[in-house]
Amino acid sequence: MISDIPGAANVTVPADGVITRWRLRDSVGANFTLRVLRHVSGDDYTFISSSAPATGTDPGIATFPTQQPVKAGDYIAVSWDGTQGLGGIDGASGAAFEAFDGIPPDGTTATGTLFGPNTTEAFFNADVEADADNDGFGDETQDKCVGVPGPNAGCPPPPPPPPPDTTPPALTSSAHSAKLSHSGIVSFVITASENANGTATGTINVPKLAKVVRFRKRNVALTAGKATKITLKLAKKNAKLVRRALSKHKHLKAKVRLSVKDAAGNPSTKRLSLNLR
């Protein structure tokens, strides 16, 4: 366990931010971790965080990604379990370090032993990036949404999907009567609360003839909130028959039925009873 101490400015964090990568040089073995330490007093330091385990390269420089928030004045250190060799240079002018027994867990405070000055300088360093939105993602290379905090690579979570539509369209019409044209057409106006598609049809009961005549079924497309005129048409011979009954002052009704579904498939039916004139 090693950490250079005050005076070795290259291992104190200059500003609040996030460590985004770190390096080992001429180091042998696996299970090195980069530690962030916060000075308490004297030789006491609190261990704040740990990188993922890393394997050194000797000779050479090995670089590792990490994501460790830091505050100005924090220290960095390297932990290892004793089987590895951390690269360094002995007798470096001004070099000093604190050594800790074992590998203190994150969140604990441990007391180190000071070595130096003019002792070993260890070969490790780290890059700190600003984290202006304080989301733990370095703003230069990690944060995909700089200035907006969020847990997904520095971005806010996507909005939740809208709840499924389980409400059928509401159909309204104030039509109570309709004129039957000579060609056998009736029309009326209907409004749906949301876009809906379906069919319209209807019947006219002509009691005198003991006969029910039927309008041709037709497709309807309703637009949300828009009054839509629906026309239904009788077959030619039925039109003539109903016109004749009407002309004899019979009271006849067209029973109209609309069956539609919204985009989610929720069905809705509307029945109208129209006095024919």
Chain residues in the site for Ca ion (CB under 5 A): 131, 133, 135, 137, 139, 143, 145, 154, 165, 167, 262, 266
CB-neighbour burial class of residue 198 (10 A; exposed 0-12, middle 13-18, buried 19+): buried
Pairing of β 97-99 and β 113-115: antiparallel
Report the residue number, 19 or 96, with the smaller CB distance to Ca ion.
Answer: 19
273 closest CA partner among 134, 174, 166: 174
CB of 143 to Ca ion, least distance (A): 4
Residues forming beta bridges with residue 46, ordered by sequence position: 38, 109
Report the residue number, 87 or 154, with the smaller CB distance to Ca ion.
Answer: 154
Report the residue number, 74 or 262, with the smaller CB distance to Ca ion.
Answer: 262
CB of 266 to Ca ion, least distance (A): 5
CA–CA separation, 208 and 257 (whole Å): 23
CB of 264 to Ca ion, least distance (A): 6
CB of 147 to Ca ion, least distance (A): 7
Residue written as tokens 């360094």? 88
CB of 124 to Ca ion, least distance (A): 24
CA–CA separation, 195 and 199 (whole Å): 14
Report the residue number, 52 or 263, with the smaller CB distance to Ca ion.
Answer: 263
218-255 as b/e, with b when 16 or more CB fall inside 10 Å? eebebeeeeeeebebbbeeebbebbbebbeeeeebbbe
Between CA 87 and CA 93, with CA 91 as vertex, the angle to 5 degrees is 110
Report the residue number, 193 or 205, with the smaller CB distance to Ca ion.
Answer: 193
Residues forming beta bridges with residue 232, ordered by sequence position: 186
Which tokens hold the place of 151?
A: 């847990």
Report the residue number, 57 or 193, with the smaller CB distance to Ca ion.
Answer: 193
CB of 14 to Ca ion, least distance (A): 17
Report the residue number, 71 or 277, with the smaller CB distance to Ca ion.
Answer: 71
CB 45 within 8 A of CB 39: yes
CA–CA separation, 168 and 171 (whole Å): 9
Closest residue to Ca ion in the complex (CB): 154
State the DSSP code for 11: G
CB of 257 to Ca ion, least distance (A): 20
Report the residue number, 104 or 169, with the smaller CB distance to Ca ion.
Answer: 169
CB of 258 to Ca ion, least distance (A): 16
